[in-house]
Amino acid sequence: MKKIYIVLMFLSVLILFDSCDDMLDVTPKNVITDEQIFGSESGIRAYFATLYSNLPVEDFRFGKSGFDKNGNQTYLANVSGEAMANANNDVSSLGDGTWWGAWDYGRVRRVNYFLQTLPKYKANYSEDQFNAWMGEACFIRAYYYFAMVKRYGGVPVLKEPQEWTGDVEVLKASRDTEKDCYDFIAGDLDLAAEYMKKGAAILNDSKYSARANEYVAYALKSRAMLYAGSIARYGRVDLDGVVGIESSFADHYFELAFLAAKKIVDSEKYFLYRKNTDKEKNFSELFLAENSPENILIKDYQLKLNAHSWDIYCIPYQYRGEGYASSLNPPLEFANLFERKDGSPANFDQLATGTKFDDPADLFKDMDARFGGSIIYPNAVFKGTNASIQKGLIRENGSKLESAVNDTIKYVSESGKTYYVVGKSGVGKFSGNMTGFIAKKYLNESMPQSEIKENYSTQHWIEFRLAEIYLNAAEAAVETGRQEYKSEALVWMNDLRDRAGLKTWDLTAMTVDNIRHERRVELAFESHAYWDLRRWRLADKMFEAKRFFGFYPYLDVRDDKYVFDTGFANGYYYTFDPKMYYERIPESERSKNNKLVQNPLYN
């Protein structure tokens, strides 16, 4: 199977198309003629480079500060209950409805201009070329709109570039309903798939390996329609439908999500990654594998062009390069979501109560392979050595000795034996480790320590993979309640569970709660959980003055054995305000367009 990339290329010839975002979708005066761009294949490929580079992908470079940013910033995982930010970059709230914005009609304008203009040059190209390019553009437009709709609800749907006539009032567009937006996205993706199927000969050429295909369109449709179904089932209609979808449409959207996912599975073009017989290592490897049969769409990175900084910010302290460490610290609550191989819950804190361990890693044996593949736990092997995670010592009198200063502080016992108080990877402020766990997913274990620095990581981001498609289909199936859908989805869920080394399910296990649980552990740290909690309308319940726990090993010097204790990871209480189920429409946009009604509860 050919790997599909988003390749970012920054081409000065197209900078002009980024320069005019004053209204919604106004075409700037051309500095370069249409003939120069649309009259040659090289011009079109350059245009697509900009369209793809502008995809609002929530990747390694996405955080509170925006898209394509590098810096020690807040990630979506830090506000979803998946992970705490490190101790030096602590997050004290879950936002105010402005953290995750993506209002950008400049993107829409550029793709609308392409869709309007390319047909005028159709005679210059083969049918395959024309169809492939039109399909890609429809997919890209749908992607842009989905990024906005999942944040804001209904937004103005503009299908053609607006033209400046001298009357600013003509350019002001009202928000369409949320339902109309999702219907538009579905239509664009159907059109994209139809076009790209006709242009498959072009898209399958190695020269076009950096592009989407019809199955990428189906992948986005499965995700977007799943969101629409959830909004209809669990949301509330307000502002005359500008936000919310009538509940009677829920099954319709869930069925669309299932059928889109089924097209991908039935194509037999993608398969779960299973190249390593060690299931835990296999799960870790799938995120770094160059030719994984599971990947449907990935975003690629190149050194000195668009490299990211995932390793330097997220790696455990003892393996650090040029400073920083541990930006994603899973709390005990999230670690406990994983199952043991026999199907029993992790219950780490309960099982550790009253128990001593020769090796703290013993507590984490026989787990769902996704646990060790996603999380570095105390004394887990990482980069060929044990991750030294320890919060302190238990002294001869039974009292605790802790130090957050650094990992070189020593203690001499009454017997004369010398101990290090804390682990080389914490727990403590010096290390950034707040919870006793560190996220492992996407970390490059083969990266030399000398190269662990900012803007030096180049592992790809997987935007769509088959596991998500399985989960989309399964959730949609159980939401519809249709037995034939659930039976098909059960096969796919058992494929996932078998890869994780877990017991397979029968149909009675195909419940909404079980599917949601599987989704959280399979897709951990992949920028899904925050949006899932929002579309399920569970975020305000989960984060109701919530404090998260850490799970900490101590070495007892009386017998050189380890014990675990729990404690609050930080001093913050996290609350999700219900108004944040929709982001705040930027006031800068409303000041330019008084037809943009603000989302509920922000006024």
Query: pLDDT tens for residues 358-409?
Result: 999 999 999 999 999 999 999 999 999 999 999 999 999 999 999 889 999 9
Residue 44 or 13, more confident: 44
Task: Return the closest-CA partner of residue 314 out of 228, 441, 216, 215.
Answer: 441
The reply to whether the predicted model has a pTM over 0.75 is yes
Model pLDDT for residues 170-222, shown as the tens digit of each residue:
899 999 999 999 999 999 999 999 999 999 988 876 454 457 999 999 999 99
Q: How far apart are the first and last CA of the chain?
A: 51
pLDDT value at 72 more than 80 = no
pLDDT at 202: 83
Model pLDDT for residues 314-343, shown as the tens digit of each residue:
999 999 998 899 999 999 999 999 999 999
**CA–CA gap between residue 342 and residue 501 (Å, rounded):** 9
**CA–CA gap between residue 376 and residue 571 (Å, rounded):** 23
Ramachandran quadrant class, 455 (left: phi over 0; alpha: psi -120 to 50; beta: rest): left
- The dihedrals phi and psi of 452, each to the nearest 5 degrees, come to -80, 90
**CA–CA gap between residue 329 and residue 175 (Å, rounded):** 39
Tally Cβ neighbours within 10 Å of residue 358. Answer: 10
User: Which run of H or of E encompasses 46?
Assistant: helix 41-53
Q: What is the mean pLDDT of the chain?
A: 93
The dihedral sign for the CA sequence 147, 152, 154, 156: negative
**CA–CA gap between residue 310 and residue 304 (Å, rounded):** 15
414: DSSP letter: T
Q: Of all residues in the chain, what percent carry a pLDDT higher than 70?
A: 94
Place 9 in a pLDDT band, splitting at 50, 70 and 90. very low
pLDDT at 31: 64
Domain at 5-59+101-292: CATH code: 1.25.40.390
Contacts of 500 (CB under 8 A, 6+ apart): 279, 283, 368, 369, 370, 522
Average pLDDT over residues 417-433: 96
153: DSSP letter: S
* Domain spans of the chain, in order of start: 5-59+101-292, 310-345+352-459+547-568
Average pLDDT over residues 155-177: 93
Task: Return the closest-CA partner of residue 472 out of 511, 529, 519, 504.
Answer: 519
